């Protein structure tokens, strides 16, 4: 089964902010970080249930960990149904919580 991946406006904004933050420091690293995040999201097309559950009671709200450098990123997503996964937010692991 293949899931369609959708991004909320908030998630798109998160990606832009993360990229802009890295771009100010290292253009090459910014491109690599964005690539790592987007490639990792492809896993959700086939295996969204392989990711850990996000805190709380909703079993369909999950987190994808994206390693990058000495830390990485966390992609918060929900499994909407048997056809769609929606990315709700993307954060650096050292940022404040997004819940």
98 lies in a domain? Answer: no
The residue segments making up the domain with residue 76 are 4-92
Q: Is the pLDDT of residue 79 over 80?
A: yes
Nearest to 2 by CA among 48, 33, 36, 59: 48
Question: For position 15, which CATH number holds?
Answer: 3.30.2310.20
Task: Quote the CA–CA distance of 12 and 32 in Å, as a whole number.
Answer: 17
Q: What is the pTM of this model?
A: 0.91
99 lies in a domain? Answer: no
97 lies in a domain? Answer: no
Q: Quote the number of domains for the chain.
A: 1
75 lies in a domain? Answer: yes
Q: Is the pLDDT of residue 98 over 80?
A: no
Give, to the nearest 10 degrees, the angle between helix 27-41 and helix 9-23. Answer: 150
29 lies in a domain? Answer: yes
72 lies in a domain? Answer: yes
The pLDDT tens digits of the residues spanning 16-68 come to 999 999 998 999 999 999 999 999 999 999 999 999 999 999 999 999 999 99
CB atoms within 10 A of CB 99: 11
């Amino acid at each position: 089964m293949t899931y369609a991946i959708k991004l909320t406006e908030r998630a798109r904004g998160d990606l832009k902010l993360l990229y802009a933050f890295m771009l100010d420091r290292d253009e090459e690293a910014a491109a690599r970080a964005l690539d790592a995040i987007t490639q990792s999201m492809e896993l959700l097309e086939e295996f969204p249930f392989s990711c850990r559950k996000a805190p709380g009671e909703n079993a369909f709200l999950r987190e994808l960990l994206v390693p990058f450098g000495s830390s990485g990123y966390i992609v918060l997503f929900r499994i909407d149904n048997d056809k769609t996964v929606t990315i709700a937010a993307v954060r650096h692991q050292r940022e404040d919580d997004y819940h």
